[in-house]
Amino acid sequence: MKNPLLRIENLCKSFGEADVIKGVSFEVYPSEVIVVIGSSGTGKSTMLQCLNLLHRPSSGKIFLEDTEITAPGMNEDHVRRQMGMVFQEFNLFNHLNVLGNVTVGMTRVLKIPAAQAKEQAMAELSRVGLADHADKYPAQLSGGQKQRVGIARALGMNPKVMLFDEPTSALDPELTGEVLAVMQQLAADGMTMVIVSHEMGFAREVADRVIFMENGYIEEQGTPDQVFNTPKSDRTRAFLSVINRMEGV
């Protein structure tokens, strides 16, 4: 078994009095696709944003390859360059066009020369199917298009792992398909991905491992088959039955 790309040991996060994450540990192997599911407010998004240190963990350790990124004195910006994040609300840079959104990180952070950056950016935009929209501004795009630009922007930094924070939750139902298709292709290309999502169908199809979080803990984890069809915990069962009812299964 190869070494894990990401190792999370006993991650805890509190905001003031509230303990949001109460001791989460798991590993992510190269090219693995992990989908984190659970009801709202169970700390899934917070946990994901701890992985790239947008939130500073209250305690616990996170290792990227063999480096402990939670060690004091660690250059956080440097860490974040190696992980790509895609947000629920897209957060595209409004004053830059599509091409600009993808290249700004390359030129400003990675110091790649402009011509080369443009080339790489257009490649990423083609990958997500938006090469024709390079000159458009975020305000002119649909939700699904915006999110795909967000994915291209993260990919442009050449990350080791991609983190998706409920990427389709803010989209109208007809638009989720185009984003999920891109994500599926990414997985097929071998990208390591940690995805927080409500899209159970996607999880069943694409995930290598599913993690069910409840109340700040990992309640259960396993292959999609294990978690969806033969859940070990009652809580998992309860959650899945609600979801199944909602999806009309």
Partner 1 sequence: MEFLTSAADMMKFLIPGLGVTISVTAIALAIGCVFGAAMAVLRVYGGPVARTIALVYSILIRAVPVIVIIFILFFVISEVIDLTPFMSGAFALGFASGAYQTEIFRGAILSIPSGQMRAARGIGMSRFQAIRCIILPQAFRVAIPSLINEISLVLKDSSLVFVIGVPELLRRAQYASASTMEPLLAFGCAALFYMAMTLTLSKALEAVEKKFAVNF
Task: Work out how close the CB of 105 gets to partner 1 at its nearest, in angstroms, rounded to a whole number.
Answer: 4
Task: Work out how close the CB of 31 gets to partner 1 at its nearest, in angstroms, rounded to a whole number.
Answer: 22
Task: Work out how close the CB of 14 gets to partner 1 at its nearest, in angstroms, rounded to a whole number.
Answer: 20
Toward partner 1, which CB reaches closer, 57 or 84? 84
Task: Work out how close the CB of 82 gets to partner 1 at its nearest, in angstroms, rounded to a whole number.
Answer: 8
Residues that bind partner 1 (CB under 8 A): 52, 54, 77-82, 84-85, 87, 89-95, 104-105, 108-109, 137-139, 150, 153-154, 156-157
Whole-number Å distance between alpha carbons of 203 and 226: 12
Toward partner 1, which CB reaches closer, 140 or 233? 140
Whole-number Å distance between alpha carbons of 38 and 196: 9
First to last CA, the chain: 36
| Strand ranges, E, within 146-240 | 161-165, 192-196, 209-214, 217-222
Tell me phi and psi for residue 147, to 5 degrees.
Answer: -65, -35
Whole-number Å distance between alpha carbons of 249 and 227: 16
Toward partner 1, which CB reaches closer, 42 or 52? 52
Task: Work out how close the CB of 201 gets to partner 1 at its nearest, in angstroms, rounded to a whole number.
Answer: 27
Q: What is the dihedral of CA 16, 22, 25, 26, to 10 degrees?
A: -90
Cα–Cα nearest to 28, from 59, 58, 51: 51
Toward partner 1, which CB reaches closer, 54 or 181? 54
Toward partner 1, which CB reaches closer, 197 or 236? 197
Asked if residue 213 lies in contact with residue 239, where contact means CB atoms within 8 angstroms, the answer is no
